[in-house]
């Protein structure tokens, strides 16, 4: 494939160009209650070109490899038009030339598992959920995705790399009286099919949470000290800081760049955060990004101070920093943008018991039901539990949290000794192509204690 | 006729087949930091094939209906698929609106760049210190559905989008004045439209914190549309079949304020993204979903219609809660949420608020229990005191349940804006909605 891509670029008059071609194979099985909503296979393919000419930039997508050259020519012409209207040329940071293949392998490769076995596994979990007390219906989805990508650029880089990931997601809807709530089950999130086997205990924990949630009342609105469980803390750091560590989020905002300058004390000295696509078997693990840069670990917060940012070649040039290998596209239809990989709060030394004992009136917040990053950020809990006088008490529902980047991180007063990585996570990021949904992303954290967070409940 | 349909018809082990094929050819131009940023050209095509084989349904996906292996993959999937007691579309829909402008299809990238620069010049003239981000895009879309049952229909449309964000002067925030122009033909924002945007930006001089508690909240049209997302979940025909919808048993009864009427009319000529048929090839029909607060209809696709033993309402869309990917199976969704306007000017609505919120954008709606109508979101917008803007909102959340908070709508504006299908939002149109009382939390 690389030879075909190189041929498509040859002789086009540009300063820099690259081309990527993706060939994917996916399987999807979905149950809705007793019904099988979908069993499907998916073999999309397509390509993407970036062209830089005279300081201007253009991108273009195509579906058939035969269209690669015409697309590259169109992109070059569009970049030339843009260059006529730019006084500041767009530059790319230096990047090493890489010529390698990174082929996916897994001990228990989902590609070698039959459709029948995948179907039976999902059906097994679905049956357990449907048999639970007061469960009205379910949505269980199995998905695996294998993507083989080829990338070449005009500097001489030529790489082939694979992404392989499989997961099971379950949403369980329960009703008791007038109360209806949802339980969640997520396993997998790596290239290892075996990670989804024998997870009945995890499912039963989710069903027990749902059972208790059905008897719970909504959280009371207000500001409280809270303890976040590892899943909640992982979503929290992704939304509260991770998106702000993506250098394109502040590219044209001088005030924000100053406020988030490297070395700034942004958080409690207890907080250390890094992004690392080389952690084995996580959702955000990859060998090389979609600019042909090898993956590497990037410290983001060290002892409460901003220590690094995630870069594309463009932002690395603007900030005069080395590349970090974080420029990725969800598939062939999209231009790569800066994305986190596996974003992690490093383990601390506090125990969960000590965190709970330190709170007189607050909440224990579990799980992450999604969120949105920004200077002010928000995220939703799966469930929460009231803490009174140092003891965990009744479960509450509908606890959505918000906070502010410049105050909340400084209020982290304890970091736990029990780091866990999420098994499934997805996140959308807006770009000029629209919102790119990524499932190849992950976060991890131990329990953490925040001295103050805002809960937007229904009752004050 | 598509080859894959012909091929399916000739195979004894295929009882029915359906192809859904969508193509998009688009150009976009972005401007930020006082410079043109980039140009994007996109040509995407995606196909979904569903077959019924051995009375079970299977699916496969690729870029085009000609892709090798598509039919065999779908047949293999059908061996493990669900039972299909329904028939794919058999009645050819009539195309009800011409949404295709050849001038958009013929547009050159240079013209799009010039359009983007023109908007920047206009903003710069009115607000020389503003540093806007602009997005201009033109696109040509086609959707084709063909079935072995006799349907083969294609609809083409064009779109023109201008999105402008002018950050507040206090650049320590990432919020600002936000404007969106949607059309099917090329259009330029009027001087008045830009002037209003600049004025909105100038109102954001400093933050202002409202008190916590129940306050009146005025929703921008795009936010009015977003808060319909829980209603979309409640109207889902599967929720009626499972009895998981909070609207079960409430047909023909009041569920909202009588000020609220919502039409579902995907073929309406004024819409940004009109459609004549859904993603299963079923003709769209104008219907009233909510008539003066009274629930009058739910949404079905072929599968949920079978479960309810009714016919499809033509709302089978390949869209899940958070995405609209080709491999999202058809599911009941609003295609056009046309919220009927009221008769008051938005300026009068603002003037009538003693202490409340004007919400221009909400974040985090997807974290809420939408199926039950709940929302708990962070807000962008303005604090209104004594009928005037006191400053922009920061660290402010609103939370509640649409089935309670939309019972007491104080008023709707006479001004309406078109809305676009997107992340949780729906095509259609919406006015400003003034909710009498919503719980507000301030961090």
Distance CA B197, CA B194 (A): 5
Q: Give residue A328's pLDDT.
A: 95
Please report which confidence band the pLDDT of residue B1 belongs to, taking 50, 70 and 90 as the band edges.
confident
Q: Are residues A198 and A254 in the same domain?
A: no
The structure tokens 């293999």 sit at B76
Q: Which residue of A has its CA nearest to B78?
A: A39
Residue A460 pLDDT > 50: no
**Rounded to whole angstroms, how far apart are CA atoms A356 and A365?**
11
User: Which of A51-65, A295-309, B160-174 bottoms out in mean pLDDT, i.e. has the lowest?
Assistant: B160-174
Question: Could you tell me if A405 and A244 are in contact, meaning their C-beta atoms sit under 8 angstroms apart?
Answer: yes
- Segment B176-181 long-range contacts (CB within 8 Å, at least 24 positions apart): B176/B201, B176/B204, B177/B201, B177/B204, B177/B360, B178/B360, B178/B361, B180/B222, B180/B417, B180/B420
Spell out which residues of chain B touch residue A35, defining contact as CB-CB under 8 Å. 82
Q: Please state the rounded mean pLDDT for residues A332-338.
A: 91
Using CA coordinates, name the residue in chain A closest to B247: A178
Q: Give the chain A residue nearest B241 (alpha carbons).
A: A137
Mean pLDDT over residues B77-105, rounded? Answer: 92
Q: CA quadruple B202, B203, B209, B212: dihedral positive or negative?
A: negative
> Percent of chain A at pLDDT above 90?
72
Mean pLDDT of chain A: 92
Is residue A406 scored above 90 in pLDDT? no
Distance from CA of B28 to the nearest CA of A (A): 7
Tell me the average pLDDT of chain B. 91
- Which positions ≥6 away from B336 have C-beta within 8 Å? B263, B264, B265, B266, B268, B271, B274, B275, B284, B426, B427, B428
A180 and B443 in contact by Cβ < 8 A?
no
**For A167, phi and psi rounded to 5 degrees?**
-155, 165
The first and second tokens of residue A343, run together, are 């974003």
Name which residue leads in pLDDT, B328 or B424: B328
Q: Where on the phi/psi map is residue A72: left (φ > 0), alpha (ψ -120 to 50), or beta? A: alpha
pLDDT, tens only, B102-160: 999 999 999 999 999 999 999 999 888 888 999 999 999 999 999 999 999 999 999 99
Measured distance CA(A228)–CA(A217) in Å, rounded: 19
Contact B376 A62 (CB under 8 A): no
What residue in A sits closest to B163 (Cα-Cα)? A432
Please name the residues in contact with B12: beta carbons below 8 A apart, sequence gap of 6 or more. Answer: none
Q: Is the pLDDT of residue A201 over 60?
A: yes
Q: Identify from B397, B421, B439 which residue to disrupt to test chain A contact, counting A C-beta atoms within 10 A and taking the largest count.
A: B397
The answer to whether position A460 is within a domain reads no
pLDDT at A72 over 50: yes
**A304 shares its domain with A338:** yes
For residue B394, which residues of chain A lie inside 8 Å, CB to CB?
A: 376, 404
Kindly state whether residues A101 and A75 are assigned to the same domain.
Answer: yes
Question: Does residue A303 contact residue A297 with C-beta atoms inside 8 Å?
Answer: no
B71-85, B164-178, B239-253: range with lowest mean pLDDT: B164-178
* B400 and A CB contact within 8 Å: yes
**Structural domains of chain B in order of their starting residue, each with its CATH number:** 3-201 (3.30.2290.10), 206-443 (no CATH)
State the burial class of residue A107 (Cβ atoms within 10 Å of its Cβ: 0-12, 13-18, 19+): exposed
pLDDT, tens digit, 9 for 90 and up, residues A411-449: 999 999 999 999 988 787 776 666 666 668 899 999 999
Nearest C-alpha in A relative to B42: A61
DSSP code string of A152-217? EETTS-EEEEEEEEEEEEEEEEEEETTEEEEEEEEEEEES-GGGGSS-HHHHHHHHHHHHHHTT-E
* Nearest-CA distance A377 → chain B (Å): 8
Q: How far is A272 from chain B (nearest CA, A)?
A: 24
Tell me whether B367 touches chain A (CB under 8 Å): yes
Residues A156 and A237 in one domain: no
Q: Residue A183: pLDDT above 50?
A: yes
Per-residue H/E/C for B339-395: ECCCCECHHHHHHCCCEEEEEEEEECHHHCCHHHCEEEEEEEEEEEECCEEEEECCC
* Burial class (CB within 10 angstroms; exposed 0-12, middle 13-18, buried 19+) of A392: middle
Q: How far apart are CA B425 and CA B336, in angstroms?
A: 10
**Closest alpha carbon to A17 in A44, A51, A41:** A51
Alpha-carbon distances, residue A17 vs A11, A339, B29 (angstroms):
11, 21, 19
Domain boundary (A177, A196, A215) is at A215
- Per the domain annotation, does A21 fall within a domain? yes
**Contacts of residue B213 in chain A, CB cutoff 8 Å?**
460
Strand partners, A266: none
Residues A307 and A283 in one domain: yes
Residue of chain A nearest B72, judged by CA positions: A41
Looking at the structure, do residues A246 and A177 belong to the same domain, yes or no? no
Q: Is B202 on the interface with A (CB under 8 A)?
A: no
- Say which CATH number the domain at A184 has: 3.30.2290.10
- Count of A-B CB contacts under 8 Å: 275
Angle at B364 between CA B362 and CA B369, to 5 degrees: 115
Position A379 in a domain: yes
Contact A428 B74 (CB under 8 A): no
User: What value, to the nearest 5°, has the Cα angle with vertex B172 and ends A56 and B425?
Assistant: 70
- Contact call for residues B221 and B260 (beta carbons, < 8 A): no
CB atoms within 10 A of CB A4: 16
My answer on whether A167 and A304 are in the same domain is no
Residues in chain A with CB shorter than 8 Å from the CB of B131 are: 252
Please give the average per-residue pLDDT across B161-187, as a whole number.
83
Rounded Cα–Cα distance for residues A21 and A47 (Å) = 4
Mean pLDDT within A374-382: 77
pLDDT at A435: 65
Buried b (16+ CB within 10 A) or exposed e, B59-72: bbbbbbbebeebbe
Res B276 pLDDT > 90: yes
Residues in chain B: 443
| Sequence-ordered list of residues with C-beta below 8 angstroms from that of A330, at least 6 positions apart, any chain | A436, A437, A438, A440
Which structural domain, as residue segments, surrounds residue A69?
2-215
A61, A136: one domain: yes
Same domain, yes or no: A418 and A318 = yes
* pLDDT, average across residues B75-85: 90
Alpha-carbon distances, residue A145 vs A189, B113, B311 (angstroms): 11, 37, 35
The SS3 of residue A49 is strand
Distance CA B38, CA A219 (A): 45
Answer yes or no: do A378 and B378 touch at CB < 8 A.
yes
Position B172 scores a pLDDT of 58
* Cβ atoms of residues A44 and A148 within 8 Å: no
Q: What band does B171 get if pLDDT is binned at 50, 70 and 90? A: low
**Whether the Cβ atoms of residue B238 and residue B436 lie closer than 8 Å to each other:** no
Greatest mean pLDDT among A29-43, A53-67, A350-364: A350-364
- Under a CB-based contact definition with an 8 Å cutoff, are residues B46 and B70 in contact? no
- Is the Cβ pair B443, A223 closer than 8 Å? yes
Q: What residue of B is the nearest CA neighbor of A120?
A: B80
Residues of A in contact with B113 (CB under 8 A): 81-82, 85
Residues A305 and A419 in one domain: yes
Using CA atoms, how far apart are residues B358 and B435, in angstroms rounded to an integer? Answer: 10
Contacting B residues, span 153-172, partner chain A, CB-CB under 8 Å: 167, 170-172
Q: Token pair of B359, please? A: 């919400």
Report the C-alpha gap between A75 and A69 in whole angstroms. 10
Q: Which residues contact B138 (CB under 8 A, 6 or more apart)?
A: B26, B27, B28, B104, B107, B112, B158, B159, B160, B161, B186
Same domain for A224 and A322: yes
Which of A310-319, B29-38, B109-118, B124-133 has the highest average model confidence (pLDDT)?
A310-319
| A343 found inside a domain | yes
Q: Which of A215, A240, A264 is the last residue of a domain?
A: A215
Same-domain pairing of A169 and A201 = yes
pLDDT tens-digit readout, A117-167:
999 999 999 999 999 999 999 999 999 999 999 999 999 999 999 999 999
- 3-class DSSP string for chain B: CCHHHHHHHCCCCCCEEEEEEEEEEEEEEEEECCEEEEEEEEEEEEEEEEEEECCEEEEEEECCCCCCCHHHHHHHHHCCCCECCCCCCCCCCCCCCCECCHHHHCCCHHHHHHHHHHHHHHHHHHCCCCCCEEEEEEEEEEEEEEECCCCEEEEEEEEEEEEEEEECCCCCCCCEEEEEEEECCCCCCCHHHHHHHHHHHHHCCCECCCCCEEEEEEECHHHHHHCCHHHHHHHEHHHHHHCCCCCCCCCCCECCCCCCCEEECCCCCCCCCCCCECCCCCECCCEEEEECCEECCCECCHHHHHHCCCCCCCCEEECCCCCCCCCCCEEECCCCEEECCCCECHHHHHHCCCEEEEEEEEECHHHCCHHHCEEEEEEEEEEEECCEEEEECCCEEEEEEHHHHCCCEEEEEEEEEEECCCCCCCCEEEEEEEEEEEEEEEC
- Residue A38's SS3 state is strand
- Residue A294 belongs to a domain: yes
Phi, psi (rounded to 5 degrees) for A201: -65, -40
Q: Please report the residues numbered 96 through 115 in chain B whose beta carbons come closer than 8 angstroms to any beta carbon of chain A.
A: 109-110, 113
Average pLDDT over residues B293-299: 95
Contacts of A65 (CB under 8 A, 6+ apart): A1, A4, A21, A45, A47
Mean pLDDT of B241-253: 92
Residues 6+ apart with CB under 8 A from A280: none
Task: Count CB-CB contacts under 10 A for residue A361.
Answer: 11
Burial category of A327 from C-beta neighbours within 10 Å (exposed 0-12, middle 13-18, buried 19 and up): buried
With respect to residue A13, please indicate whether it lies within any of the assigned structural domains. Answer: yes
ipTM of the complex in this document? 0.86
Domain boundary residue, one of A156, A188, A215: A215
Q: Distance (Å) from the C-alpha of residue B319 to the closest C-alpha of chain A?
A: 13
Please, which contacts does A205-209 make with residues 24 or more away whose CB atoms are closer than 8 Å? A206/A170, A206/A172, A207/A128, A207/A129, A207/A132, A207/A135, A207/A172, A207/A183, A209/A183, A209/A366, A209/A382, A209/A383, A209/A395
- For the cut 80, the answer to whether the pLDDT of residue A375 exceeds it is no
What total number of domains does chain A contain?
Answer: 2
């Amino acid at each position: 494939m690389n030879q075909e891509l190189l041929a498509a670029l040859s002789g086009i008059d540009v300063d820099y160009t690259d081309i990527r071609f993706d060939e994917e194979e996916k399987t999807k099985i979905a149950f809705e209650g007793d019904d099988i909503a979908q069993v499907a296979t998916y073999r999309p393919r397509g390509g993407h070109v970036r062209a830089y000419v005279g300081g201007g930039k253009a991108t273009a997508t195509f579906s058939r490899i035969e269209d690669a050259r015409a697309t590259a020519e169109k992109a070059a012409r569009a970049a030339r038009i843009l260059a006529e209207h730019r006084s500041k040329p767009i530059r790319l940071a230096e990047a090493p030339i890489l010529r390698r293949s990174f082929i996916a392998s897994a001990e228990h490769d989902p590609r070698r598992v039959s459709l029948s076995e995948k179907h039976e596994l999902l059906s097994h979990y679905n049956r357990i959920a449907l048999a639970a007390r007061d469960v009205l219906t379910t949505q269980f989805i199995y998905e695996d995705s294998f993507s083989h990508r080829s990338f070449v650029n005009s500097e001489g880089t030529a790489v082939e790399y694979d992404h392989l990931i499989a997961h099971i997601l379950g949403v369980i809807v329960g009703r008791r009286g007038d109360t209806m709530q949802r339980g969640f089950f997520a396993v997998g999130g790596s290239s290892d099919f075996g990670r989804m086997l024998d997870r009945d205990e995890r499912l039963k924990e989710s069903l027990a949470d749902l059972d208790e949630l059905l008897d719970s009342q909504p959280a009371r609105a207000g500001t409280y000290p809270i303890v976040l469980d590892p899943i909640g803390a992982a979503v929290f750091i992704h939304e509260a800081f991770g998106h702000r560590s993506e250098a394109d989020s502040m590219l044209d905002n001088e005030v924000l760049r100053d406020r988030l300058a490297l070395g700034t004390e942004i958080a409690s000295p207890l907080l250390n955060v890094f992004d690392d696509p080389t952690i084995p078997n996580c959702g955000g693990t990859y060998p090389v990004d979609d600019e042909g840069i090898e993956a590497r670990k990037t410290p983001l917060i060290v002892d409460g101070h901003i220590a690094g940012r995630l870069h594309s070649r463009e932002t690395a040039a603007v900030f005069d920093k080395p590349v970090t290998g974080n420029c990725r596209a969800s598939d062939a239809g999209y231009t790569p943008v800066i994305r986190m990989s596996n974003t992690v709060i490093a383990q601390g030394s506090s125990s969960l018991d000590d965190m709970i004992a330190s709170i007189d009136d607050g909440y224990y917040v579990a799980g992450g039901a999604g969120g949105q990053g920004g200077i002010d950020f928000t995220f939703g809990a799966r469930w929460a539990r009231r803490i009174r006088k140092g003891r965990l008490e009744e479960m509450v529902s509908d606890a959505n949290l918000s906070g502010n980047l410049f105050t909340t991180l400084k209020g982290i007063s304890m970091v736990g000794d029990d780091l866990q990585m999420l098994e499934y996570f997805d996140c959308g990021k807006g770009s000029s192509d629209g919102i790119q949904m990524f499932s190849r992303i992950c976060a991890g954290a131990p329990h953490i204690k925040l001295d103050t967070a805002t809960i937007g409940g229904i009752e004050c | 006729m598509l080859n894959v349909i012909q091929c399916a018809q000739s195979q004894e082990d295929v009882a029915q087949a359906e192809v859904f094929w969508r193509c998009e050819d688009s150009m976009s131009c972005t401007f930020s930091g006082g410079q043109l940023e980039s140009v994007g050209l996109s040509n995407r095509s995606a196909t979904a094939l569903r077959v019924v084989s051995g009375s079970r349904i299977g699916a496969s996906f690729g870029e085009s209906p000609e892709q090798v292996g598509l039919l065999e993959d779908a047949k293999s999937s059908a061996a493990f698929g669900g039972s299909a007691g329904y028939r794919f579309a058999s009645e050819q829909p009539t195309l009800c609106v011409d949404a295709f402008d050849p001038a958009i299809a013929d547009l050159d990238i240079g013209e799009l760049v010039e359009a983007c620069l023109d908007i920047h010049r206009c903003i710069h003239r009115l607000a020389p210190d503003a540093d806007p981000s602009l997005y201009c895009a033109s696109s040509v879309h086609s959707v084709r559905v063909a079935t072995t049952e006799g349907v083969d229909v294609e609809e083409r449309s064009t779109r023109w989008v201008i999105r402008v964000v002018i950050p507040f002067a206090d650049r320590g925030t990432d919020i600002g004045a936000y404007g969106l122009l949607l059309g099917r033909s090329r259009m330029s924002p009027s001087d008045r439209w830009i002037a209003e945007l600049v004025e909105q930006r100038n109102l954001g001089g400093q933050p202002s914190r409202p008190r916590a508690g129940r306050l009146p909240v005025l929703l921008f049209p795009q936010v009015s549309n977003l808060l319909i997302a829980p209603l979309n979940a409640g109207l889902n025909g599967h929720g009626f079949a499972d009895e998981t919808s909070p609207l079960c048993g409430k047909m023909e009864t009041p569920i909202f304020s009588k000020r609220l009427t919502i039409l579902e009319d995907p073929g309406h000529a004024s819409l940004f993204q009109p459609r004549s048929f859904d993603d299963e090839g079923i003709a769209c029909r104008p219907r009233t979903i909510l008539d003066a607060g009274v629930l009058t209809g739910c949404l079905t696709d072929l599968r949920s219609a079978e479960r309810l033993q009714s016919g499809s309402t033509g709302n089978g869309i390949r869209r899940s809660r958070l995405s609209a990917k080709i491999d999202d199976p058809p599911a009941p969704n609003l295609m056009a949420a046309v919220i009927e306007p009221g008769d008051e000017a938005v300026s009068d609505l603002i003037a009538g608020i003693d202490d409340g919120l004007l919400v221009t954008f909400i974040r985090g709606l997807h974290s809420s229990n939408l199926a039950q109508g709940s929302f708990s979101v962070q807000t962008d917008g303005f604090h209104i005191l004594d009928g005037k803007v006191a400053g922009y909102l920061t660290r402010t959340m609103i939370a509640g349940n649409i089935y309670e908070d939309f019972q007491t709508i104080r008023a709707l504006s006479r001004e309406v804006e078109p809305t676009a299908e997107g992340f949780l939002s729906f095509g259609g149109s919406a006015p400003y909605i003034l909710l009498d009382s919503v719980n507000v939390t301030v961090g």
